[in-house]
Structure 1
């Protein structure tokens, strides 16, 4: 599109690339969760979703072949195959816009133009970062919930705070709804196991978990009142790993003194290493808000580590960058929750492959052409600046949009037959740490 179509007051800013740089500044200012995502191109003309398939491995053979069966064409061997697992990556469009009236903002027009670009950039950043955050926490809090209402008498249906992670079970690598045929084992706080046969979502969501979905779980037999008491933990056998200080089994059990400790961080690193999760540049990323990270400075182990080191950068700056195989990244986007009088903080420890970002390949493709707008791509996001189209030729439109989506892959095939130290979690590449 010719720059001459824009007002003369704006042409120098566009020609010198100020607009692109201002938008870039906004996008790079506070990226956290999105940075952990592996970027993939979502191909054109393949529909709105793509199903990705991961192959597993075959279990090691430790039993010798029997000489007496080493006959015929098969030599006594029975063919075996490797397993697969699938996950779906879907795309949607996100965006926003603002108008700039060149007459009413005649004073400082170039500054206002660039400020709008900066504000759009920050909004785009936060929007994509929250989409990434919600996907991560949605998967890695799944299968961990608590009883919401105490049963009056033993019954098969229990009301819980969050049904995510209980709705589906893997069958031949494909996630299918839980049913009487495809069941799931669930463990309550007292250590008793029950067989889950059905899940129902509440008509009115009252969950207190971040993006949680309240509902009921139905089991093949009655659950005791002692197990189905409000606040008791309810954990699926394939639940993601959620760690809490002092062995707390549920979020509601956290008390004011349950601060983040070095042992909590070490426990998270141990889980990831036991699952053989790849690092990100040699370290795992740990995203947490500053209030949660402050607990480290009260931890006796942390104090002992830095005892006498008054000149250490950690105490000079009040922050920890690398510790125990972790790259600690503070963020202000961490989900916040208050239960009673306790503020619950949630950090998430991620390895490579914990999150996938799909960017639509033809995001700026237009069959007709866009002669009335300037479109620039910044980090996968389209920034659109449209010339005045109103009758008085006064109003510039500044917009952004992104077409894509995030997905959290499963690692079901990495079971204990393949990796003896692996957990039974469906999602293995991140660990959530909850604390006061």
Structure 2
């Protein structure tokens, strides 16, 4: 496509790179969940799934070799292998467009042209950031659930001992890892789950036809067990936690989201963040540029600023730009990143529920399709395409009958995946937890409003 096909007042903006700069200004407007992702080039086509394999380390050897066994060609040694675990990464195409009518826009066509580019950039940034957020909290198709998975509560009390219980969210209970591969719970060896005060073997997770989950993006349903769950354990409100669930922290040791109460002061404090840091360090999770990222909304950040321990630790920094503006703060190995994309949840009786997410390196993988922005059509005959941070911005010349409407579009081909770390068990890292997903910790709390009078 020749640039001569565009109006004269737009050619300078295109030739001097103004269009790409406006789009990039929107795309990189602020830090977000996507920033934590490790980027990989995905060679497959749209709609395909790539299976990635991770290998484990081998357990340390602490027993000496027997001198009497040091014979023959094997010197008394028996070969040992390493385990594997797999995760899937699926890609799809996302995009949107906006039209610019050169006649109705009139004299402001150039400024409107650039404004459209920036608006597209903002939309693309927020779309990818939300996809990354949803993957982190809720998981991806074919995975083991997100960092909220495997942690829910009973919603309907059992009248008597029963094989099935109704729960608020079945994510994290539908799949498990068997021989390194993600398999449905149904038909497998079963998953160990704690219901109330009892431990049971889960054999199936059945979603509702119409989800009634209160969790963001949750899927309500029924969990079925190999033995009967006692009526006492199956009481409404009791916690249901998978043995392989990621860590979810709540103030005052609350077991479920519904237990959070303003009367108990269940707001975010620095000690909850430090407990999350301790869990990440127990699993030897690498930091991101020297710190763990903690994504939280502004009301949780406000609670943090009002926490006595936080004030004590940050003493002497009140004059810092970060403290004055309430922007990104680095403290005790944590980088606090305020975001408006943190998932919100309506009150369950104690006030709206807020969720911070503490993450280390490798918690999320982004797959960018290699064919984004590529075309077999010669450059002189195709639309103007600018690639910015893996996103294609496409500007098409007027093709309507009156040659008046320019199309400004963007698209991205890719997907997100949550790699598991099941093989990093206690034999490799003595302090490791049993969770499939070890590189993140969710911290649930009530918020503090701007007046300081509670949630």
Superposed pair shares fold, TM > 0.5 = yes
Compute the TM-score of the two structures, normalised by the length of structure 1.
Answer: 0.96
Give the alignment partner of residue 179 of structure 1, picking from 173, 186, 191. Answer: 186
What's the offset of the Cα at 1:9? 2.5
Structure 1 residues 48 and 259: alpha-carbon distance in aligned structure 2, compared to 1, 3 A threshold: same
What's the offset of the Cα at 1:136? 0.7
Let me know the Cα RMSD of the aligned residues.
1.8
Give the alignment partner of residue 436 of structure 2, picking from 393, 409, 426. Answer: 426
Structure 1 residues 306 and 35: alpha-carbon distance in aligned structure 2, compared to 1, 3 A threshold: closer
1:40-189 aligned at under 5 Å gives the runs 40-44=40-44, 48-138=48-138, 139-189=146-196
What's the offset of the Cα at 1:174? 0.7
What's the offset of the Cα at 1:73? 3.5
Deviations 1:57-80 (A, max 9, x none): 111122333444444433333221
Aligned length: 435
Structure 2: gaps (5+ residues): 139-145, 447-455
For the pair 1:233 / 2:239, whether they are aligned, the reply is yes
Structure 1 residues 318 and 366: alpha-carbon distance in aligned structure 2, compared to 1, 3 A threshold: closer
For the pair 1:364 / 2:373, whether they are aligned, the reply is yes
For the pair 1:340 / 2:376, whether they are aligned, the reply is no
For the pair 1:298 / 2:306, whether they are aligned, the reply is yes
Structure 1 residues 372 and 308: alpha-carbon distance in aligned structure 2, compared to 1, 3 A threshold: closer
Given that residues 285 and 360 in structure 2 are in contact (C-alpha distance below 8 angstroms), is that contact kept between their aligned partners in structure 1? yes
SS in 1 for 2:244: coil
Structure 1 residues 127 and 314: alpha-carbon distance in aligned structure 2, compared to 1, 3 A threshold: closer
Aligned mates of 1:6, 1:24 — CA distance in 2:
21
For the pair 1:15 / 2:15, whether they are aligned, the reply is yes
For the pair 1:30 / 2:27, whether they are aligned, the reply is no
Given that residues 260 and 350 in structure 2 are in contact (C-alpha distance below 8 angstroms), is that contact kept between their aligned partners in structure 1? no
Which stretch has the larger CA shift, 162-171 or 412-421?
162-171
Give the alignment partner of residue 397 of structure 2, picking from 353, 363, 387. Answer: 387
- Counterpart residue number, 1:197: 203
Deviations 1:177-202 (A, max 9, x none): 11354211001232x10001111111
What's the offset of the Cα at 1:311? 3.7
For the pair 1:255 / 2:261, whether they are aligned, the reply is yes
Given that residues 31 and 125 in structure 1 are in contact (C-alpha distance below 8 angstroms), is that contact kept between their aligned partners in structure 2? no
Given that residues 47 and 92 in structure 2 are in contact (C-alpha distance below 8 angstroms), is that contact kept between their aligned partners in structure 1? no
Which stretch has the larger CA shift, 118-127 or 252-261?
252-261
SS in 2 for 1:9: helix
What's the offset of the Cα at 1:289? 0.5
Which stretch has the larger CA shift, 387-396 or 199-208?
199-208
Structure 1 residues 246 and 196: alpha-carbon distance in aligned structure 2, compared to 1, 3 A threshold: same
What's the offset of the Cα at 1:293? 1.2
Deviations 1:264-298 (A, max 9, x none): 01101000001000111111111100101111122
Aligned mates of 1:404, 1:309 — CA distance in 2:
41
Structure 1 residues 45 and 290: alpha-carbon distance in aligned structure 2, compared to 1, 3 A threshold: closer
- Counterpart residue number, 2:449: none
What's the offset of the Cα at 1:304? 3.0
SS in 2 for 1:151: coil
What's the offset of the Cα at 1:86? 0.8
1:311-330 aligned at under 5 Å gives the runs 311=319, 313=321, 315-319=323-327, 321-330=329-338
What's the offset of the Cα at 1:308? 7.4
What's the offset of the Cα at 1:49? 1.6
Compute the TM-score of the two structures, normalised by the length of structure 2.
Answer: 0.92
Which stretch has the larger CA shift, 47-56 or 301-310?
301-310
Aligned mates of 1:142, 1:54 — CA distance in 2:
21
Structure 1 residues 425 and 179: alpha-carbon distance in aligned structure 2, compared to 1, 3 A threshold: same
What's the offset of the Cα at 1:232? 1.4
SS in 1 for 2:9: coil
Structure 1 residues 308 and 383: alpha-carbon distance in aligned structure 2, compared to 1, 3 A threshold: closer
